[in-house]
Structure 1
Amino acid sequence: MRITMALGDITEQDVDAVVNAANSSLMGGGGVDGAIHRRGGPAVLDECRALRASRYGRGLPTGQAVATTAGNLPARWVIHTVGPVHSRDEDRSALLASCYRESLKVADSLGAATVAFPAISAGIYGWPMDDAARVAVTTVRAASTSVEEVRFVLFSADALAAFERALSG
Structure 2
Amino acid sequence: MEYEIVQGDIAAQSADALVNAAGTSLEMGSGVAGALRAEAGDELDREATAKGPVDLGGVAVTDAYDLEADYVIHAAAMPHYGDGRATEASIRDATQNTLETADDLECESLVLPALGCGVAGFDLEEGAKIIGETIGSYAPETLEDVRLIAYSHEEYETIRGATGETGSTA
Same fold (TM over 0.5): yes
Q: Equivalent residue for 2:168?
A: none
- Which residue among 110, 117, 129 is the counterpart of 1:134? 129
Shift of 1:45: 2.6
Gaps of 5+ in 1: 53-58
What TM-score, normalized by structure 1, do the two folds share? 0.87
Letter in 2 for 1:111: E
Q: Equivalent residue for 1:101?
A: 96
Letter in 2 for 1:69: D
SS of aligned partner of 1:83: strand
Shift of 1:2: 3.3
CA distance in 1, matches of 2:109, 2:56: 23
Shift of 1:47: 2.2
Deviations 1:51-108 (A, max 9, x none): 24xxxxxx12210111110000011110001113547xxxx31221011100011101
Matches within 5 A, 1:53-68: 59-68=53-62
SS of aligned partner of 1:2: coil
Deviations 1:118-146 (A, max 9, x none): 11111111111110110010111011222
Question: How many residues were matched structurally?
Answer: 159
Matches within 5 A, 1:29-108: 29-52=29-52, 59-84=53-78, 85-86=84-85, 92-108=87-103
Query: Contact between 1:130 and 1:163, CA under 8 Å: does it hold in 2?
Result: yes
Task: Say whether residues 1:154 and 2:160 are aligned partners.
Answer: no
What TM-score, normalized by structure 2, do the two folds share? 0.86
Query: Contact between 1:21 and 1:118, CA under 8 Å: does it hold in 2?
Result: yes
- Which residue among 158, 163, 169 is the counterpart of 2:159? 163
What percentage of aligned pairs have identical amino acids?
28
RMSD: 1.7
Letter in 1 for 2:42: P
Query: Contact between 1:44 and 1:71, CA under 8 Å: does it hold in 2?
Result: yes
Gaps of 5+ in 2: 79-83, 166-170
CA distance in 2, matches of 1:121, 1:95: 8
